[in-house]
Chain A
């Protein structure tokens, strides 16, 4: 084996320029894939962070059927204090959950005493909401960063359209679940920037004000929003929540609760998926590049070394050894290209990190690009390149091993 490697390496060194050229091609491909993965990964997680931390949260729990009719903000599909106790217990059992917020969501009319329009509102417990979606204060572009009872945070578009500004008094009118109508005056305490996704254009009031407007005797929560300590545990937390909560059945034997991750709730998930698909395409291109370039040199190598193949075959080298000799050559080339590519890729990613590149997303400016690549990803890319190198050498190597020595020796 050592000797086969020695011969393979020496043959690579023999055509130094060609070897370097092919290895650089592989290297460039590897660097490109690694940097692309790191940068898009960074952008993706920043954007996901923006979306989950402004409004959506990481996970949401509703009464079964709520999400299907979320556009109507139904007041009949809610979580009673009894249900809340069960959920509260389930949440406490999962240490990965950092915080959660309860919301009463409803639709109503918004009046500035001159005009009236529709509004969607969230009744929240401000302290809980802030812990769960920490970017909410950043969305308040005018006014106070806090929400007190009697205050209302209204979306930017509504403020513009209704010519309402901070400090104005407005009235919110809503129909409760029994069908009776109630109204309550509020002081506009702040203007909210819109975000993409469901609920991105909603206003906020205190949860107790919401109960008052809706004439609730007991708190009936529309949704519970969860925040995790580590976003990477999303799937695990989702599963353990599902495990405990899906055991709660109603009389008909149907589950009482539904749990959704942010992915199921936001159209942005599709954009994130598109980034993944783009990465996949770039990986496929890398594979094609490695395949073509390695196959090309190996076909050339076999053709050029026909007489050498004839010689070693004539003196009794078994076909399997000849095959390995050429496969090892392709393998070494792949390892070399992948290794240098990994090194340069990591250096470039490091440089991108220390040069503090920022970008803007919506109104959010100065988002810091922090490209990061995991060891697993580097390994995966390298192993792919190496495996493809071997695969690309197989056909030429097989051809070499199958050659009749007299035909090969006659070759000039």
Chain B
């Protein structure tokens, strides 16, 4: 069984009187340790879909299983606990906590979400700082580092709990293309190291090719699935 299985997923948004269908009968299965992306134009439903997979939202209809759990049936608190246990998030706007240093931002989930002892925390944070090449900046605050550096820290934060799944909704949208490419490469490298599944969304054709599996979304429907093995070039 796959890490994620989706059966006949629908998502409708109620906008005033009108109901808007953002996702229309999605079916897919994602294997563990994939490096996968959803691509499509703005408004095609990428964010909506990633929110469902990330247990931030529930589908209007359909069956969705993540890591063996029927996530549709979870309540608010259970979803929070589930996210903390199984998932990491990388956001478009980096979303680091401004009052915490680089080190503390990466450490945050180990203290506030999981309850990892100090020694183990130190080991993991230092090792990740090394991997994302941010050791020197570890005592800086988010407003003292660049966008690319922030996103590297965010990637480290997402991985520090050793989750089964990392979700990144347009992680490079706020970065220049060179930095964007470097972030995707970093994610890919981290994916290989950790064996974690990475799912990212993008409408940026320049970085799409980095993914091993590419789903194309259009008007809330999957219109294409490509398996490139990650060798397509930018």
Listed in ascending order, the chain A residues whose CB lies under 8 Å from chain B are 3-4, 7, 10-11, 14, 307-308, 310-319, 321, 404-406, 409
Contact check: which of B80, B85, B93, B109 meets A319 at CB < 8 Å? B80
Contact check: which of A308, A316, A404, A406 meets B97 at CB < 8 Å? A308
- Given known contacts A316-B83, A406-B57, A307 and B95 CB-to-CB distance under 8 angstroms: yes
Extra inter-chain contacts (12) besides given A14-B98, A409-B95, CB under 8 Å: A7-B97, A7-B100, A10-B100, A311-B91, A314-B54, A315-B84, A315-B108, A315-B109, A316-B113, A317-B84, A321-B112, A409-B91
B80 contacts A318, CB within 8 Å?
yes
In the complex, chain A residues whose CB is within 8 Å of the CB of B97: 7, 308, 311-312
Say how far A403's CB is from chain B's closest CB, in angstroms: 10
Beta-carbon contacts under 8 Å, B76-99 to A? 76-77, 80-85, 87-89, 91, 93, 95, 97-99
User: What 3 A-B pairs are tightest by C-beta distance, nearest first?
Assistant: A316-B84, A10-B99, A311-B95
Q: A409 vs B111: C-alpha distance in the bound complex, in angstroms?
A: 22
In the complex, chain A residues whose CB is within 8 Å of the CB of B56: 314, 404-406
In the complex, chain A residues whose CB is within 8 Å of the CB of B84: 315-318
Q: Does chain A have a CB within 8 A of B51?
A: yes
In the complex, chain A residues whose CB is within 8 Å of the CB of B109: 315-316
Counted as pairs of residues, one from A and one from B, with CB atoms less than 8 Å apart, the total is 70
**Is chain A's interface secondary structure helix, strand, loop, or mixed overall?**
helix
Interface residues on chain B, size class? 20 to 34
Listed in ascending order, the chain B residues whose CB lies under 8 Å from chain A are 51, 54, 56-57, 76-77, 80-85, 87-89, 91, 93, 95, 97-100, 108-109, 111-113, 157-158
In the complex, chain A residues whose CB is within 8 Å of the CB of B93: 307
In the complex, chain A residues whose CB is within 8 Å of the CB of B85: 316
A314 contacts B89, CB within 8 Å?
yes
In the complex, chain B residues whose CB is within 8 Å of the CB of A321: 112
A-B contact pairs, 16 of them (CB 8 A): A10-B100, A14-B99, A307-B93, A308-B97, A312-B112, A313-B80, A314-B56, A315-B113, A315-B158, A316-B84, A318-B77, A319-B76, A319-B77, A319-B80, A405-B56, A409-B91
A308 contacts B98, CB within 8 Å?
yes
B92: nearest chain-A partner, CB-CB: A409
Q: A311 vs B83: C-alpha distance in the bound complex, in angstroms?
A: 12
A8: nearest chain-B partner, CB-CB: B99
Say how far A335's CB is from chain B's closest CB, in angstroms: 19
A315 contacts B99, CB within 8 Å?
no
Q: A119 vs B157: C-alpha distance in the bound complex, in angstroms?
A: 93
Among B80, B87, B91, B157, which residue has the most Cβ atoms of chain A within 10 A? B80
In the complex, chain A residues whose CB is within 8 Å of the CB of B57: 406
Q: A10 vs B87: C-alpha distance in the bound complex, in angstroms?
A: 27
In the complex, chain A residues whose CB is within 8 Å of the CB of B89: 311, 314-315
In the complex, chain B residues whose CB is within 8 Å of the CB of A409: 91, 95
B88 contacts A315, CB within 8 Å?
yes
A320: nearest chain-B partner, CB-CB: B77
Q: A38 vs B87: C-alpha distance in the bound complex, in angstroms?
A: 58
Q: A176 vs B98: C-alpha distance in the bound complex, in angstroms?
A: 91
In the complex, chain B residues whose CB is within 8 Å of the CB of A10: 99-100
In the complex, chain B residues whose CB is within 8 Å of the CB of A311: 89, 91, 95, 97
Q: A409 vs B93: C-alpha distance in the bound complex, in angstroms?
A: 10
A317 contacts B91, CB within 8 Å?
no
B51 contacts A3, CB within 8 Å?
no
Q: A193 vs B39: C-alpha distance in the bound complex, in angstroms?
A: 99
Say how far B198's CB is from chain A's closest CB, in angstroms: 16
Q: A312 vs B54: C-alpha distance in the bound complex, in angstroms?
A: 14
A325: nearest chain-B partner, CB-CB: B112
In the complex, chain B residues whose CB is within 8 Å of the CB of A405: 56
Contact check: which of B76, B80, B98, B99 meets A316 at CB < 8 Å? B80
Among A14, A310, A312, which residue has the most Cβ atoms of chain B within 10 A? A312
- Given known contacts A3-B111, A3-B112, A307-B95, A316 and B100 CB-to-CB distance under 8 angstroms: no
In the complex, chain B residues whose CB is within 8 Å of the CB of A316: 80-85, 87, 109, 113
Q: A287 vs B92: C-alpha distance in the bound complex, in angstroms?
A: 43
Q: A308 vs B93: C-alpha distance in the bound complex, in angstroms?
A: 11
Say how far A409's CB is from chain B's closest CB, in angstroms: 7
In the complex, chain A residues whose CB is within 8 Å of the CB of B112: 3-4, 312, 317, 321
In the complex, chain A residues whose CB is within 8 Å of the CB of B91: 311, 314, 409
B111: nearest chain-A partner, CB-CB: A3
B97: nearest chain-A partner, CB-CB: A308
In the complex, chain A residues whose CB is within 8 Å of the CB of B95: 307-308, 310-311, 409
Q: A221 vs B109: C-alpha distance in the bound complex, in angstroms?
A: 83
In the complex, chain B residues whose CB is within 8 Å of the CB of A307: 93, 95
In the complex, chain B residues whose CB is within 8 Å of the CB of A318: 77, 80-81, 84, 113
Q: A316 vs B87: C-alpha distance in the bound complex, in angstroms?
A: 8
Say how far B89's CB is from chain A's closest CB, in angstroms: 5
Q: A11 vs B88: C-alpha distance in the bound complex, in angstroms?
A: 24
Q: A363 vs B53: C-alpha distance in the bound complex, in angstroms?
A: 86
In the complex, chain A residues whose CB is within 8 Å of the CB of B108: 312, 315
Q: A406 vs B158: C-alpha distance in the bound complex, in angstroms?
A: 17
Q: A4 vs B113: C-alpha distance in the bound complex, in angstroms?
A: 12
